[in-house]
A and B are shown apart, each in its own frame.
Chain A
Amino acid sequence: MNLLRGIILTTKKELNDYFGSPLVYILTGLFNAIIGWLFFNYLVGAKNLTLLNLSHSVLIPLFGNINFLFLFLVPLLSMKLFSEEKKFKTLDLLFLSHLSQTQIIFSKFLAGLLISLFILSWTIVFPIILGFSGYNDWGLVFSSYLGLVFSIITYLWVGLFCSSLTENPIISALTTFCFLLGMMLMVLTVNATHIEILNTFFQYLSSPFHYESFSRGSIKSYNLVYICSFSLFFYFLTSKSLESRRW
């Protein structure tokens, strides 16, 4: 069947699901309250409000915190994507439909991404507020958002995979969270060692390291290679995990 029509139909269904439950509204509210409060604190804490200072003591830490908060949000957003379908046996309906497995996985991913972007989109008010008082380093804002989107993509793939492993949303959320936190801690641990190769290797594997190059505004080609290979790898794992239920 038409590739797009299938993806649109299922993505729309997922989005309806999201907006039909209070979870998304609660998360959006909570998330933005925390970010607003942090923004206010950083602003008060910054001594003199020069352009350079605004970037370094307000926006960069703020975006860093957004990235960190998504570590908690994404597992909650992705937990139901497959586990609930498995629990209520509706996955068979999708498998027997004209949708291919790739379409099923991508529409779920797309729904998760869109809902994360919805939550993220509210934070655009903070740079805009600064813009009113003369802030104009929009390049940094843009690359930070790009970095956030890339981070969210990696988080979501992990979440999607964990969700396909179990019938229980809570377990799915917990495993996703542990995995993501582990990845974050890996960077910290590895920074403490002095073996150069090990250092670079583990840094490359963990997504926060790549986020940093975005937030510094210096995107390298290996950042993009990382995102693509990470996504492909987890797509592969997810599709294997879905296939395994037939055995």
Chain B
Amino acid sequence: MENAIEVNNLTKEFAQIKAVSNMTFSVKKGSIHGFLGPNGSGKSTTMNLICGLLVPNSGEILIGGKKIETDFDQLKRSIGFLPEDPPLYKNMLVEEYIKFVAGIRGVPNSKVKKRVETILAQCGLEKVKRRRIGNLSLGYTQKVGVAQALVHDPDVVLLDEPTRGLDPEAVDEMRKLIKELKGERTLLLSSHLLNEVQNLCSEITIIKEGQVIQNGSLSEIRSLFQQQRMFKAEVRKFNEEIYQAFRLRFGKVVNLNFEKKKEEKSEEYSLNLKMPKTDDLRSEVCNFLVDKKCGLLSFSEESIGVEEIFRLATAEVNVKENSLKESLL
């Protein structure tokens, strides 16, 4: 699949700090790409660079195979961007503002009205369309910001923390909206809500201090960080005796701990199992539980969350750095 966005050896320095250093990653066409990193790691700066609103010190950015620096005037038409601070005119009405943006972003005059209506409905803004933007709550301001980025139907959409300030229901709506947007479009979204990324994105890039530390499809990265497979089982009956038998049968290969569920009326236990990725012992474990008449209720695999990956990935860099420092000392 071809790449919608390609970032090659990008470096951006501000007065004292290197906000982005030698960053390389790509976003596949038609994918939803998550962009993660701790505060101040350079996410917003990178997004501004991709949009051509900032000029990098070195490196290049290709959108649809064309360089943003040289083809800015043409490329900007296919970009929709929600910056960290949404660019809103505080004393305009919501509807008036979206209409204005549609106008300057080249929606033909005859289609403006229809387009504005659709986008207001899509972003859940119909209720507030006659309100002044300056008087809106944070969540609604954010929605207006998203509407602004989508009104001209762009191919490449960059959203910097689209779910900031939204309540759970609105987050759900936003997720639905983003899923609807997929298709031909390419989305790059940075978010602090790692759950969001997990549910939406097929690929992620994790950065730290301006450098890419992980980049690839979510499942790939997941398996990289998941040394062991984790399973959860629920059973009716379990006790120390069965546990010992289990230890005897599987030894140290499969790690098991069990726990009685407190909230259930009838007796129920939950088992946490960890087994190596290399040999598949699922059926053996199940057979064992059935043989022991444990009353197997469920057996399912637990995959590690993005949160865990994020923690592990960013921690890994720290470890590397620390060991480097130590070796220098």
Contact = CB atoms under 8 A, between A and B. Distances in A.
Interface in B21-59: 51-55
B55 A246 contact: yes
Interface stretch (A9-17, A25-33, A113-121, A211-219): A9-17
B148 A93 contact: yes
B79 A13 contact: no
Given A20-B91, A90-B88, A100 B73 contact: yes
Nearest to B48: A92
A13 B100 contact: yes
A92 B104 contact: no
Contacts of A13: 89, 92, 100
Contacts of A222: none
Interface string A226-247: 0000000000000000000011
A5 B91 CA distance: 22
A95 B53 contact: yes
B85 interface: yes
B55 A93 contact: no
A1 interface: yes
Contact of A6 (B87, B89, B104): B104
Given A13-B89, A20-B91, A97 B104 contact: yes
A99 B53 contact: no
Interface residues of A, number: 24
A98 B106 contact: yes
A125 interface: no
A51 to B, nearest CB: 49
Interface in A1-47: 1, 5-6, 9-10, 13, 16-17, 20
A171 to B, nearest CB: 20
A110 to B, nearest CB: 15
A98 B101 CA distance: 10
B90 interface: yes
Given A1-B106, A9-B103, A89 B55 contact: no
Contacts of A20: 91
A90 B77 CA distance: 17
B104 A9 contact: yes
A132 interface: no
Interface in A122-181: none
Contacts of B89: 13, 17, 88, 90
B274 interface: no
Interface string A91-107: 11111111110000000
A9 B103 CA distance: 7
Contacts of A9: 100, 103-104
B54 A246 contact: yes
Interface in A60-88: 88
Contacts of A89: 83, 85, 87
Contacts of B79: 96
Interface string B71-101: 0010011010101010111111000000011
B105 interface: yes
B53 A5 contact: no
B79 to A, nearest CB: 7
A86 to B, nearest CB: 11
Given A92-B53, A93-B148, A98-B77, A17 B91 contact: yes
B83 A92 contact: yes
Contacts of A91: 87
Given A13-B100, A98-B106, A246-B54, A93 B87 contact: yes
A82 B69 CA distance: 24
A90 B106 contact: no
A246 B53 contact: yes
B105 A98 contact: yes
Most A Cβ at <10 Å: residue of B52, B81, B106? B106
A93 B53 contact: no
Contact of A90 (B53, B54, B76, B87): B87
A99 B83 CA distance: 19
B59 to A, nearest CB: 15
B81 A96 contact: yes
A99 B101 CA distance: 11
A96 B55 contact: no
8 contacts: A88-B88, A90-B87, A92-B81, A96-B53, A96-B81, A97-B101, A98-B106, A246-B53
The list of the 4 closest CB pairs from A to B, nearest first, reads A93-B87, A97-B104, A98-B106, A90-B87
